[in-house]
């Protein structure tokens, strides 16, 4: 299942009692601030959730496996998200339990 932005807005509205319009404005503002910070080269860290940052990719030659044609990929910066340790662990444990696999106790 895919959770869309409108699903998030609906969940926020139900959890807070705010209107969907208010929740959408807040969510859009939150996302816009993350994008703007990354565009300025800043790192965005949300404790307990994770960090957004950019990674520099050097130019390189790559081969299309379908056509065997070699093409050049330009120098670029890509946005990256790294989840917090607890967030990563809790997602893994919950999905293991949902799949019927007992997670290791550590």
Task: Dump pLDDT digits (tens) for 32-46.
Answer: 999 999 999 999 999
> What letter does residue 50 receive in the DSSP assignment?
E
Residue 67's alpha-carbon distances to 35, 72, 73, in angstroms, are: 35, 14, 16
Residue among 87, 90, 5 at smallest CA distance from 46: 87
pTM: 0.83
Strand locations in the chain (E): 44-46, 50-57, 60-63, 70-73, 76-83
Note the pLDDT tens digit of each residue in 57-87.
999 999 999 999 999 999 999 999 999 999 9
Domains of the chain (ranges, CATH numbers): 1-42 (4.10.520.10), 46-106 (4.10.520.10)
């Amino acid at each position: 299942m895919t959770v869309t932005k409108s699903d998030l807005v609906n969940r926020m509205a139900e959890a807070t009692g705010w209107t969907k319009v208010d929740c959408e404005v807040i969510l859009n503002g939150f996302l816009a601030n993350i994008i703007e910070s990354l565009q300025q080269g800043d790192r965005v860290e949300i404790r307990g959730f994770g960090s957004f940052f950019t990674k520099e990719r050097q130019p390189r030659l790559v081969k299309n496996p379908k056509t065997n044609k070699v093409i050049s990929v330009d120098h670029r910066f890509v946005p990256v998200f790294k989840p917090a340790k607890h967030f990563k662990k809790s997602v893994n444990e919950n999905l293991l339990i949902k799949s019927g696999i007992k997670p290791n106790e550590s």
